[in-house]
Amino acid sequence: MTREIHVATAGSDVAPGTPEAPLRTINRAAQLAQPGDSVVVHAGTYREWVKPARGGLDDARRITYRPADGQHVLITGAERVTTWENVGGTVWRAVLPNAMFGDFNPYREEVRGDWLEQPVPGVEPPKHLGDVWLDGRSFYEVATPAEVTSPQRRDTHMDIPTGHIVPTHEPEWTTRVWTAEVGDDATTIWANFQGAEPNTALTEVSVRRSVFLPEGPGINFVTVRGFELAQAATPWAPPTADQPGLIGPNWAKGWVIEDNLIWGAKNVAVSLGKEATTGNNHATDRGDKPGYQYQIESVFEGLRFGWSKETVGGHVVRRNTIRDCEQAGIVGHMGCAFSLIEGNHIYRIGLKREFFGHEIAGIKFHAAIDTQIVHNRIHDTPLGVWLDWQTQGTRISRNLLYRNMRDLFIEVSHGPFTVDHNVLASRCSLELVCQGGAFVNNLVAGCVRLQPTLDRSTPYHLPHSTQVAGFGLVAGGDDRWTGNLFFGGKVTDAYDPIRIGPLSERGFGTHVYDHKYPSSWQGYVDSLDPALGDHLQFHGVCQAAYVWDNAYVSGARPFAAEVGAVVADDEAAASLDVVEPDGDDAGAVYLDLRLPAAVTAARTAVVTGADLPAVRLVAAGFEEPDGSPVRCDTDLVGASKVAGRTYAVGPVSALSVAPEDAPIRVRVW
């Protein structure tokens, strides 16, 4: 028989957990809960790490954690400190017993690991996992108490009008700094509060690594719903390491994480990633192989450790607000496969810029096999969505990405993957270091960059499976583009934040495929030279680009061989603004569009897998996770499209010319 286990701040962990006699901690309830039980948490702040001892048996017999109806519950990895001593001016010091931290002291633990760009030795010391918080805002770490006394204002922001990033906090917060010294028995923290009184304000320090995460793998079918989850000292989480987050399943199946506010992770908020058994920062610790090689080994270690559709992945992460984390809003290698990421609002990721590495994004997935990334709003990040390795069967649909340095980056993957009905409104919209994609009915307002990769061979899989079918290099191309709306601009290095690739492979529109890419399967076959032999005839030969029925405004240009392109060069007749109103409409997002009549009149048909040529290397078609042909028949705002009818280009299926040249306003969030 299922039951409810109640928890309240006035409870006791020796109580029976009834509404009249609740437990005191959520973690105690997590040790008692059985499949089918619900843990009901009453209002208050809970300073603990919840470590579920068991999960449910299947989707119908879950263990569910939720607040009591209508009540607000905060679970935090930080502790309040009211023992600060003023040591001069605006600088305060707190001496904390090491027993407060147990066997994990975040002020001793450095931010380190594979693909982290480590500071120059002797110039800038490493950062640590700890933080100091004032009213929910984190300070900046400096190296010495002298720097706390005389902090230098940090130029942590880059300016949005030039296509770059804003700071996490207002500029005056950049001089609120801290440093720590860990001794045998105590940890001393110095912090500059810039006039605030820390013993009367809400001043907190990081204590726990995670907030809601099992200690071991295999805790399946858990639902976490409706909490505020905050302030965890999470480590750097690359794909070749243990990937703990503030919350996550830790290599399990069937979690549902929904309707939560999640913020303040030092690195990762939500982790759907791997665990340490399958590799843990070997490239950093050993230095004997590149991280690329260890990542290949991690895939095979994962398979030996049970990575399959039946045992790992299949999670749902939806309708969460995720903000103010320094590595990723959602991360995952292998454990993210077969999952649904839907309706999340992810913003202010990686903006403090205290450290840098190649894993920072709103969403960063490796091996997102059959994962569906649908209707998320992602902004103010260095990179909105980064899909790296084994992007196969993946669907990126109906997302709103804007005010990022880059919107969507797909790396060393072979497809098939589908990108449809998205708004990609940042100055750099798409970076394709991959092949085998289908791009259908998107609004692409920034530049597109292509890059073949002939020095890293990465895996591809049997369709809808984790079983490895082969390895291959990325020759580039094998892409399909139809029904998209492109805006133009000017190509400069400012549009390529990582400064890779020639200017000829960056631009606005599909013309980036000109010259090197054939326009048909037969054109690709004709470009091969069998006289070079079995291997060399394929080396460096770009694959076909299948491009038809797209629209281009404000100087964006079509692929030279495109059929059915609509080109409107009058820049004054086209504009795009992403509008976030204040007041009663706060929280909504609108697109204000001005489009030439030729563009609003253009029509395209509903696209399905039958319209998309199969991917060459993987020899697979574009399918839904159940194996049926993919159907791109739901637009950005959720309107259904009917086969046999035609619709406007771009992500909004119903567009009309506004009267008197007024903008077309469409609510998209």
pLDDT tens digits along 238-267: 999 999 999 999 999 999 999 999 999 999
pLDDT tops 70 at residue 658 = no
d(CA 177, CA 515): 53
The confidence score (pLDDT) of residue 663 equals 79
pLDDT value of position 491: 61
The pLDDT of 290-310, averaged and rounded, is 95
Q: Quick one: pLDDT band at residue 571, thresholds 50, 70, 90?
A: low
* pLDDT tens for each residue of 412-431: 999 999 999 999 999 999 99
Identify the pLDDT of residue 168.
44
The CA distance from 122 to 125, in Å, is 7
Q: Is the pLDDT of residue 474 over 90?
A: yes
Residue 276: φ, ψ to 5°: -70, -25
Same fold, 79-206 and 222-573: no
Residue 2 pLDDT grade (very low, low, confident, very high; cuts 50, 70, 90):
confident
Residue 657: pLDDT band by 50, 70, 90 thresholds? Answer: low
**Residue 493: Cβ-neighbour burial (10 angstroms; 0-12, 13-18, 19+):** exposed
Summarised one tens digit per residue, pLDDT across range 54-96 is 999 999 999 999 999 999 999 999 999 999 999 999 999 999 9
What one-letter code names the amino acid at 353?
R
CB-CB contact of 349 with 385 (8 Å): no
Q: Minimal CA–CA distance to 347: which of 364, 331, 363, 324?
A: 324
pLDDT of residue 572: 66
pLDDT classification of 159: cutoffs 50, 70, 90:
very low
pLDDT tens digits, residue range 487-542?
A: 998 665 554 544 545 545 789 999 999 988 999 999 999 999 999 999 899 988 99
Structurally, at CATH architecture level, domain 222-573 sits in 3 Solenoid (2.160)
Kindly report the backbone phi and psi dihedral angles of residue 98, in degrees, each rounded to the nearest multiple of 5, phi listed first.
-65, -20
For residues 294 and 282, the answer to whether their CB atoms sit within 8 Å is yes
- CATH pick for 79-206 out of 2.60.40.1180, 3.30.365.10, 1.10.730.10, 3.90.1150.10: 2.60.40.1180
CB burial of 338-369 (b: ≥16 within 10 Å; e: otherwise) equals bbbbbbbbbbbbbbbbbbebbbbbbbbbbbbb
Residue 660 is predicted with a pLDDT of 52
Q: Which helix (H) or strand (E) holds 340?
A: strand 340-342
pLDDT given at position 573: 78
One DSSP character per residue, 476-540 reads -B-EEEES-EEE-----GGG-TT--S-GGGEESSGGGGTTTS-SSHHHHHHH--GGG-TTGGGTT
The stretch 177-182 carries a mean pLDDT of: 97
pLDDT reported for residue 165: 47
Average pLDDT value over all residues in the chain: 93
Q: pLDDT higher for 458 or 493?
A: 458
Alpha-carbon distance 428 to 426, whole Å? 5
Q: Which helix (H) or strand (E) holds 293?
A: helix 291-304
- Least confident among 39-48, 287-296, 499-508: 499-508
Domain boundaries, the chain: 4-76, 79-206, 222-573
CB 430 within 8 A of CB 387: no
Q: How far apart are CA 21 and CA 91, in angstroms?
A: 44
pLDDT tens digits for 541-556?
A: 999 999 999 999 999 9
Q: Where are the alpha helices (DSSP H) in 23-151?
A: 26-32, 145-149
Instruction: Yes or no: say if 109 and 233 are a contact pair by the CB < 8 Å rule.
Output: yes
